Amino acid sequence: MKLTIAKCLFVLLFGFISFNTWAQEITIELGPDEIGLNETFNIKVTISNDKIKSYDQFPEIPGFQKQGLSQSSSMNLINGQMSSTNSIIQYYKPTKKGRFQTGSFSVKINGNDYASPGKSINVVDARAAQRTPGLFGPTDDLFGGTQAEPEFIEIEDDAFFASTVNKEEVFVGEGINVSLAFYMSETNQAPFQFYEPGRQLDEMLKKIKPSNAWEENFNITSIQPEKVTFNGKNWIKYKVYEAVFFPFSEGEINIPSVAWEMIKYKLAKNPTFFGSNRLEDFKTFYSSGKKIKVKPLPPHPLKNEVSVGLYQLRENFTDLQVQTGEGFTYNFGVSGEGNINSISPPKANQIQKLNTYDPNVRQQINRGNGRISGIKEFTYFLTLNEAGEVKLADHFNWIYFNPNTEKYDTLRPKSVIRVVGESKVNQAISNQRLGGIYDLIELEDNKLLNQRYKYYFSLFINLLLAASVILLAVLIMKKR
């Protein structure tokens, strides 16, 4: 029984028959040999009985400019067997008249490379638009008819790309949060897609990273939508970069204007059930530049050495009782918001009753909520050889600058050590290495050395050599 067109459509749309899949085949079709200056050339890649899951960039053609991509698909039913084709088309617009060569090229489709020998294209004067006579429906191409190329239109978008900073004026060493994000309103109708964000970000960072600042990068690995509201409007924010810069010197930090390219699709003016209803195109957005003033720290003997931030002191105990000569550990931890990497050890006062060794250092840095925070911990091994009460505030202190109060502040320990037992001072001295000249006693020769004797001996050797030379010269002359 012969199937009518309506029955074929019913079968294609709902698939209520069994069929065998044909073998997969990929072909590359090139556009016409000759086109007008107002026409387009295209490269079409078609895959049979499979979907186009991934594809690489199409080649550049001298004298042409890429116009965008479109995709199409179709299905055919022949003798109870169904086949499908999926195509991707790259359009090229000529920029001038002349003859051009595409050259041989290859396109990667679904992970495999497919080659084409290329062809020669002759671009002539612009031609008048022609329309093929006859009336055809949207499904004519499926049943052997001809379908006109769809007309695509660009939808006005409500989106922008921006750089933001949390402060316009900071002190030397104070953190500045810098972020770059793509914003799109909730009412935006234009379809967008990110285009090679990793490559674009690498190029942007070369421009925006200041040379006179330390960078703490938040290392955004995936772009996630975030709802924000400003100017009385709801937006979707896609943050692509965030970091905190800590300037080394006074002056100015410049964040230049940078470009960000997005894929923006044009939509078919008259959408159809079959074929492509959108065309891939590109739009470039530009962020505005930012300038941050960096002020010098107020006068202080240690202004070039102190850390800048909001810090607190953390200790592992407040009250401890130990025996004389008994070692114990003490943690001097600086925690808070600021450049954790730049935190230096506390100043230790050299008091004989407290024996200290170089500390072990541990740090943890947290990046979140637009700020850098964490802790840097200095672990000391201490011993006390005399009984009594020792306040560690007399032995350690750490000076920093607080940008909120615009004043210098000092962190001092609150810990108190209560030492009990007999004095171990003499024992500690006997256990210590005397160092210096005493370390060389076993290594040096015990023979006395007369420096004057050494001088006379050298003089005698030099005179003897001189006499030998003179004697040799006399003998040679006599012989002649």
pLDDT, one tens digit per residue, over 450-469 is 555 667 778 888 888 888 88
Which residue reads 């698939």 in tokens? Answer: 15
Output the average pLDDT for the chain. Answer: 82
pLDDT in tens, 238-291: 999 999 999 999 999 999 999 999 999 888 777 665 556 778 889 999 999 999
Min mean pLDDT across 18-32, 221-235, 321-335, 453-467 is at: 18-32
With 0.75 as the threshold, say if the pTM is over it.
Answer: no
d(CA 138, CA 252): 62
pLDDT tens string 84-118: 778 888 888 888 889 999 889 888 888 888 889 99
- pLDDT per residue over 127-182, tens digit each? 765 544 443 444 444 444 445 556 788 888 999 999 999 999 999 999 999 999 99
Q: What are the boundaries of each domain within the chain?
A: 26-124, 153-295, 307-431
Domain boundaries 307-431, CATH class: mainly beta
Q: How far is CA 306 from CA 37, 117, 172, 299, 331, in A?
A: 68, 67, 11, 12, 20
User: What 8-state DSSP symbol labels residue 55?
Assistant: B
Check residue 446 and give its pLDDT. Answer: 56
Q: Residue 402 pLDDT > 90, yes or no?
A: yes
Cα separation, 53 vs 280, whole angstroms: 16
The count of residues in the chain is 480
Equal fold, 26-124 vs 307-431: yes
> Which CATH number is associated with domain 26-124?
2.60.40
Confidence of residue 19 (pLDDT cuts 50, 70, 90): very low
Residue 408: predicted pLDDT: 97
- The structure tokens listed for 386 are 């005399």
Q: What tens digit of pLDDT does each residue of 295-309 get?
A: 999 999 999 999 999
